[in-house]
Chain A
Amino acid sequence: MTPPPAPVHGLVLAGGASSRMQRDKALLQYEGRSQLDRAFDLLGRHVPKVFVSVRASQAAEPTRARRPMIVDSVEGGGPIVGIRSALATDPGAAWLVLACDLPFLSDSVLEQLLAERDPGSFATAYSSAHDGLPEPLCAIWEPAAAAELTAFQRGGGQCPRKFMRSSRIRLLEPRDRRALDNVNTPEEYRDAASALDAPGARAGAGPKRLKVQYFALLREQAGRSEETLDSSAATPADLYLELRTRHGFTLPRELLKVAVNGEFADWTHPLVAGDSVVFIPPVAGG
């Protein structure tokens, strides 16, 4: 009989030096929250226990100190020391490890990782959308990896990616190619933050930039064939209400259909920033 797979704990790696960023990457804010908190909460939705991996010198930093911590057993060893320290803390557990510079991670990324985990391998990881190599810092590390990692480091190895390339791991294809994009420089942070902070980057209320195209009677009544506007409308139904007042549309919504991003949509479809909306008056082809 094969033993049941080890339980999985969560580990946020927050021990990096952030040398290229020149700021503590764990404390960078997206959507008004530190990346450490975002990663911690994300893990907490999928595994029962989550810890923050820190170097001894960082243990007093308040954002880290609020969380259960695992302090690196040696100073200055890079992420592999953080992973080894976690595996040593609870040798019966596997660890879902997340770096602190992956702001685009989502629940589905972790769901897939846990669902397709191979407990009989040393680790389950995604292959990079950029170079196809394993991504060790958004991965499940199995208890059996502990001894291997120790031997690897004794032999001078420092790079967990290099370890993964020469070890028996399960490699998964990410469904969302962007989900594992990491943020190392101030420029990358600026781009990522503006993508995530864009008003309405998440569906629902709050002002967001939308593009609306008009055809036929609506085009004539709006006096334009398209416009870009900031609207708090959460759905196409709300948006039509808003624009009907603004442009004096005579058609009641009940007679229209709506398309979002070039395909028919429901009136309750949640709008997000960047959506392109078309209201479709009664058609009359033929």
Chain B
Amino acid sequence: MVSIKASYKKMQEMLGKQLSIEQLEDLLSYAKSEIDQYIEEEDMLVIDIKTSNRPDLWSPEGMIREIKGILEEESGIPEYEVKESGYVVKVDSQLASTRPYIACAVAKNISLTDYYIKQIMQLSEKIDYSYGRQRKRSSIGFYNLSMIKSPIEYKVIEETHEFIPLESTEKMSLERILEEHEKGKEFGHIIKGYGHYPILLSADGTTLSLPPVINSNDVGKITEETTGSLIEVTGTNFETVNVVLNILCQVLVTHGAEIYSVKIEYPPDIYTRSVITPLFDKEEIEINLDVVNKYLGTKMKPKDAAKLVAKRRFNCNSIDSNILTIEIPPYRKDILHWVDIAEELAIALDYNKIGPTKWKVLTTGGLLPETESENLVRNILVGAGGTEVLTNILTDPEILTTKVNIDKQEYVRIENPVTSTYSVMRKMIYPLLINVLSKNTHETYPQMLFEVGEIVKLIDKKVVTQSNAAFLCADADASFEDTHKRLNQLLSLLDTDYEIKQINHPSFTEGRCGLILIENKKCGIIGEIHPSILENNQIWVPVVGFEIELPLIPSLKCNVKSTD
């Protein structure tokens, strides 16, 4: 999901009509967007766009292009004339293995207010961040055309090369920019991975930018006074840089700018020929309308379908009985298969007008035996007086170890936790129940609680998920009997013979703890929680309890689920 800010007033201006927030939201749904917030004092809409594969929708201009199609005010692929600018970019073959691709355009007759400049910058940032994978895959640069001479060089340069980066007043070497400049610190790691510094230079030697990190302070920005601009996108994939350039040109055209092409001269080891960008590759896709109708459950005729795709800003280039050839706009690269066109047709028909069918697909439903088994155990433990709780499976290592006297153990851990509170997977439940007790010391006793839930552990270096049941009883008079009788009831109702064998376990008091054995197999633990744990958790009454592994109770149908 991408979130952008836009002026409510300006949105209505661009649409040429007054709309309530609700009306606007309804229209925005056709652009898979919704209004998250409207800040009235600032005339500001916060709009969430749900598509991560449609950067062409990440600006008010893009959404409005879509809406005007639905409203039938405009139709088909928006066309604009592209003249030659005469500008040339020469690409250095050394970039072949790092960031070889560049697409450029020249825009003239630009007259943008501060608001729209900020909007274009917002769009560029969102594309760089999300579609451009934080500039790894692609990054955008705007430059003041009057300060640039052709041919422009896109090449590798030594780290001692200097220029004044944006937001700075002094010349800095490329090396220093990566070390000290805010953007250098943020994106420098991409360049470090290349092993060399890519640079964009004007024919007179002026630095345009150090892609994908930072532009130069004087050439590399546009203001309300800018009338001509060079737009450049560099990246690791030609299709990506070209589609991003197309999106930007389309936005500028909306505001009356004229677009001129730039010739990119690639060395043979990057691209076999020179390319004129923005490149309109006129991509087409064929759909079989019979197949699409069957897929959607609709009855569109070829002519209707042609109209409907135009509503979605595609062109229908030919109709041959039930085969339609659809042209895809150059700013979209999300169409991979005819099902993508099927969705466009469904949206143009309006989901709410297509009409849901009645329930069919008659099958018998049911719970899995393991869920039934868990429910059995839950019901018995409720009958035993337990209050059921749900705790986290992804939890705090403290709760699992120091809080229950257990040394570090082998847990399934998270590589990228947001906080250590949620950083390991529990392999026992009772530590979490003790944690619950520690948060409820002001509530009346006895407190009896249980959880039947999943745990994650390693068996022979394989990660498995299984269900355990844990029961604790906390009360001034709590004794081993209180937990023993409940375990006994549980297992006898489940028709399971068991034994208890005395052991020592750090969470339990010595001599008051036993292993639960079923068919001579360890399948759980029962006992009185060690007073040092109670003290540590500030629980001022005795606590007794048990935990048992459900897959090891033969009469239940719980299983161990392996990831592999």
B is bound to A: no
